[in-house]
Structure 1
Amino acid sequence: MAPTLTSLDHLVLTVADIGATVAFYTDVLGMRAEVFHPADGSRRHALVFGRQKINLHPKGGEFDPKAAHPAPGTADLCFLTATPLTDWQAHLAACGVELEEGPVRRTGATGPILSLYLRDPDGNLIEVSNPL
């Protein structure tokens, strides 16, 4: 039998400005900022939500090993939420965040979802979705 994967632990975003990214993901999306020190002695930043995290690499100072072509603004991420999208729309408007699109019906990993689309400070496409 072939080996299988069970979940996503973390992903990495290369960003132009760590501070702006941390502010957006904590203030707008409600994630928790974390600073950690891996075995190489460096100081790194991450965003934690649920049982996952997003590690942040500064553009031009990426940590090895890294993606073949790391660059800000190349991600398209979908986050699930139990909060109604109408509440998200009001929150995003209060934060001054423009919607790209939505709410629109899409298909997620486990079935139908209703989604809002917005952009983070680097231009990454962010999808906030309710499972249907």
Structure 2
Amino acid sequence: MISHIDHVVLTVQDIDRAVAFYVRVLGMEEIEFANGRKAVRFGQQKINFQTLGQELRNHALQGSGDICLISTWPIDVVVGHLREQGVTILEGPVSKTGAVGEITSVYFNDPDQNLIEVSTYN
């Protein structure tokens, strides 16, 4: 019935700051949609951003997001890039289990304290 995730939504304090971080640190593409809302796109997925209280159907709080992103780069290159961008790595590289097998992951927070995991399949 379900083939893939189309998008996720993260609650942030400052949408422009969030977009700039995801573009700079993760190489995503900034896009605009529906009434000037902003998102970032990568591959065939996107991350939408909302400010607290913007979406009344969603009760997420700022910083409550936790997502895992798969990289095409080797994990040591990911780590080097994150360090170059001034990102503090909270954990990793560590072995974890992804949707289809073993992954190696690094964890860090975005500017709104959402937990971001960047991983590579082994």
The bucket for the TM-score relative to the shorter chain is over 0.9
Contact 2:91–2:107, Cα closer than 8 Å, also in 1:
yes
Offset at residue 70 of structure 1 (A):
2.3
How far did 1:43 drift? 1.5
Unaligned runs of 5+ in 2: none
Which residue of structure 1 lines up, in the alignment, with residue 33 of structure 2?
Answer: 36
CA apart distance, 1:122: 0.7
Structure 1 consecutive aligned stretches of length 4 or more whose deviation exceeds 2 Å? none
Shift in Å, 1:6: 1.0
In structure 2, the residue matched to 1:24 is 21
2:42 maps to 49
Q: In structure 2, which of residues 115, 119, 122 is the aligned counterpart of residue 129 of structure 1? A: 119
Distance 2:90 2:77 in 1: 17
Q: Does residue 76 of the first structure (1) align with residue 66 of the second (2)?
A: yes
Partner of 1:88: 78
Matched, 1:106 2:96: yes
Q: What TM-score comes out, normalization by structure 2 length? A: 0.95
Supply the distance in 2 between the matched residues of 1:107 and 1:30 (Cα, whole angstroms).
Answer: 24
Residue 2 of structure 2 corresponds to: 5
CA deviation profile, 1:38-86 (whole Å, cap 9, x unmatched): xxxx2200110010011111223x135x31x221100110000110111
- Ranges in structure 1 where 5+ consecutive residues have no aligned partner: none
Kindly tell me the number of residue pairs found equivalent between the two proteins.
Answer: 122
Residue by residue over 1:62-120, the C-alpha shift from the partner in whole angstroms, topping out at 9 and shown as x without a partner, is 135x31x2211001100001101111111111111010000000000001000000100
In structure 2, C-alpha distance between the alignment counterparts of 1:54 and 1:117, rounded to whole Å = 18
Q: Are residue 97 (structure 1) and residue 87 (structure 2) matched?
A: yes
Aligned CA RMSD, in angstroms, stands at: 1.1
The aligned amino acid for 2:38 is: H
Percent identity of paired positions between Structure 1 and Structure 2? 45
